[in-house]
Amino acid sequence: MWGGRFADGPAAIMQQINASIDFDRRLYAQDIRGSQAHCRMLAAQGILSPADADAIVAGLDAVRAEIEAGTFPFSVAFEDIHMNVENRLSELIGEPAGRLHTARSRNDQVATDFRLWVRDAIDGMGQALTGLQAALIARAEEHAATVMPGFTHLQAAQPVTFGHHLLAYVEMIGRDRGRLADARRRLNECPLGSAALAGTSFPIDRAHTAAALGFERPMANSLDGVSDRDFALEFMSAAAICAVHLSRLAEELVVWTSAQFRFVRLSDAFTTGSSIMPQKRNPDAAELVRAKTGRVIGDLAALLIVMKGLPLAYSKDMQDDKEPVFEVADTMELSIAAMTGMIGDMTVNTQVMAAAAGAGFTTATDIADWCVRELKTPFRQAHHVAGRLVKLAEDQGCGLEDLSLAEMQTIEPRLTESARAVLSVASSVASRTSFGGTAPSRVKDAVAAARRRWLEGAQP
């Protein structure tokens, strides 16, 4: 490839550290697509003859067919996917293959291939996240009125509905889709034509290749075109935030499936047993989703560190950009699929959830709100009344709703039977009718709105 300058071949260890074909072969479809677009542009500009262009395009189709059939002779000697494809093209069609690289460098070639690959990965991840949202929305509709304890600090706080809880994750995943869509818009500029770093003296048409590859426009600066990896970092950043959301939901599944909670049950499809304890049903799929978040965050950190000290334009360090990106895409594909499966698979123990919803004096805020509404008590004073009622119930070993009116009136004489009525879990949940609240009526509306926003063609 550069034999005109170098008299001797590389040392074995140099060849080993320099080669990337073992992982960048995943770019083959994008590489061939980019090369064919470049070839057609060169022909349209009169830089290549029509005969040479036809031979190159047909030869690249043959190379793609060999790769997809598993018969392509990948070789470390040719370093990467770009040179492997070009070498095989030369074997297939001869001299015209050597004209393909006119007005192009591997620098802008790989930048283009990589952008195309990340764009495809974003599209795939967005589709998978839409499927996860659909699963969450379906379960939220099913459990719009299923009561459960809502937590802060993992302590019982106020009753909520399970549907409302699940819809919180629909919103998180929606923002993840939005971040991916934003990243896609920003990456959708074409580096091809930047050449090594300074552009080219050939009369190329960069708008032609950009349009052929589905980009919005050519990148405006050739130095930026070959050296930018913001698009990969932004994809990984969005993926890392999404992975954190998946991890939080996975953690809740781990807690909810425990014998101490028993809120939900996962089937044999998403659990494993123990080699020594025959009674165990371990939520391993959820635990692995939780664990893989660390890998995604680590891959993001790895590429940030690779890029942080690089001057313009291209440096060989950037060969190490692809493996972390590939791993992030693979990990997220697996994690999203596992989470979607678990949401659809889980059996909800509504009776246990309902029993737990009132434990821990979760309706104490309701009595404070009643004092504000009915007695016109300042909230801070009402909060104090509710706190004293909690202390009374705690001392007597009963729930707030088990206190008699006479007992409650020892704390606040103006309390009435209507005050006692707000202490039930059902009353508490039903009263939360503010927009975005947990009342079953609101949850049903939110389910319908979520379907319209996220599942019926609307873009985030």
By percentage, how much of the chain surpasses pLDDT 70?
97
- pLDDT tens, position by position, 397-417: 999 999 999 999 999 999 999
Judged by phi (left if over 0) then psi (alpha if -120 to 50, else beta), residue 359 lies in beta
Model confidence band, residue 2 (pLDDT cutoffs 50, 70, 90): very low
Cα–Cα distances (Å) from 381 to 361, 384, 401, 422, in that order, read 18, 5, 21, 18
Cα–Cα distances (Å) from 106 to 19, 116, 191, 367, 399, in that order, read 14, 15, 11, 70, 72
Report d(CA 314, CA 223) in Å as an integer.
8
* Residue 279 reports pLDDT greater than 90: no
Report d(CA 229, CA 251) in Å as an integer.
33
The pLDDT score that the predictor gives to residue 243 is: 98
By percentage, how much of the chain surpasses pLDDT 90?
90
Task: Return the structure tokens found at 307.
Answer: 């890029």
* Residue 45 reports pLDDT greater than 50: yes
Mean pLDDT of all residues in 342-357: 96
The pLDDT score that the predictor gives to residue 5 is: 53
Report d(CA 326, CA 205) in Å as an integer.
31
Model confidence band, residue 202 (pLDDT cutoffs 50, 70, 90): very high
Q: Tell me, what DSSP letter sits at residue 272?
A: B
The pLDDT score that the predictor gives to residue 17 is: 82
Mean pLDDT of all residues in 44-59: 98
The pLDDT score that the predictor gives to residue 459 is: 52
- pLDDT tens, position by position, 295-334: 999 999 999 999 999 999 999 999 999 999 999 999 999 9
Residue 172 vs residue 21, higher pLDDT: 172
The pLDDT score that the predictor gives to residue 8 is: 59
Report d(CA 307, CA 228) in Å as an integer.
9
The pLDDT score that the predictor gives to residue 327 is: 97
The pLDDT score that the predictor gives to residue 310 is: 95
- pLDDT tens, position by position, 416-433: 999 999 999 999 999 999
- Amino acid identity, position 398: C
The pLDDT score that the predictor gives to residue 19 is: 83
Model confidence band, residue 10 (pLDDT cutoffs 50, 70, 90): low
Tell me, yes or no, if the pTM score tops 0.85. Answer: yes
* Residue 460 reports pLDDT greater than 70: no
* Residue 94 reports pLDDT greater than 90: yes
Residues taking part in catalysis: 153, 274
Mean pLDDT of all residues in 68-79: 94
